[in-house]
Structure 1
Amino acid sequence: MPTPNQAALDFLLSRRSRPFQTLHAPAPTHEELTPILTAALRSPDHGKIEPWRIEVLEGKALTRLAALAEARGTALGLDADKIAKGVDMFAHTPLCVAVIASPAPSEKVPEIEQVLSAGAVCTALLNAALAAGWGAQWLTRWVSHDRDFVEEGFGLAPHEFVAGLVHIGTESATPPDRPRPDLARAVRWISE
């Protein structure tokens, strides 16, 4: 019979993201963020390839990315509301952690497994931040999928992409919980 970690299970059963619009300073210090990042990097990584990297965005970096989002949105001809949403992701957050997927050539580990590992880092980062008492949300939005934005903003190589932008800060409001998936509809038990 296994020994359960009931506190961890209770946390996972009740965890919920906090909209980045409700997050404000202070954000975690480098010292406070270190165990959160350490937990995130314990994500499954078949072959120990480390097909991801993390960029912690704060201060002037967020200001630079907000300006770049406005410039790119205008260049793309996006409507003002969509541009504003891209700008707000950087202009109105105390701290943003970018998880960059960087798959490596491997005969042993298919690229999809490496991509899923980057997604696992995002999930672990989000949950570690929440478990540490911070408000946090994982987003991407249009800026994460615009090649010019990510190459200029994050210096991404052609094979890399943004797996997630995880916003972390002090929450100013706790939103109501949202409906969760129906277990009976989402799970199929196969015995034979």
Structure 2
Amino acid sequence: MTLTSLQWYVIVINVAAFLIYTIDFQIYNHGGDGIKPEVICNIVTICGGAFGTLAAELLWDKKINKINAQSRIYTVVWLILQVAFFWAIWGPNHEAVKEHVLAFFNGHKILCLYYLAINVITFIVFAIDKIKAMLGAWRIREIILLGLCLIGGGTGGLLAMDLCNHKVKSMHFVVGVPMMICAHLVLIAFIAVGAF
């Protein structure tokens, strides 16, 4: 059996995630601050390496406590999303899934392109606001950030919050952005089944 390039990618990213988390844990365990910025660990987890990250967490950091519980939940959530995604593209019904996705895209091209564009824009705006915060410069108003999330950019906003460690202590964002994403998913589901 020959592996596809995506399957090789999944193997490589999980090995990389395992090694990065192992190095991070060993540095932290020996009195260092771990890998800085921590965003490297998050990026490999988000990009398909959740299994490798979780394997390293279970191997090196067996005891769950207040410090590592959030990280463990974060990894498990990404693992669930990645298993669902890989099951959809490699599972027994992958042809039917492909047909449904293509049919949805062909029937709603403008919506799909809008959703992609607004999420990229929202991610960039959040990242710019984080840079401005670090420089002590004039900031982008929260109503604009939340507004971008509300009009469809919630996924981009949530990724920026995670990768840039931005607005993670503000309940407006920590609770509001995931709720907006849930609302968007319900709306997309209604559109997909033809309710609109």
**TM-score, normalising length: structure 1:** 0.23
- Return the structure number with greater relative CO, CA threshold 8 A, min gap 6: 1
Larger strand proportion of the pair = 1
Computing the radius of gyration over CA atoms, which structure comes out larger, 1 or 2? 2
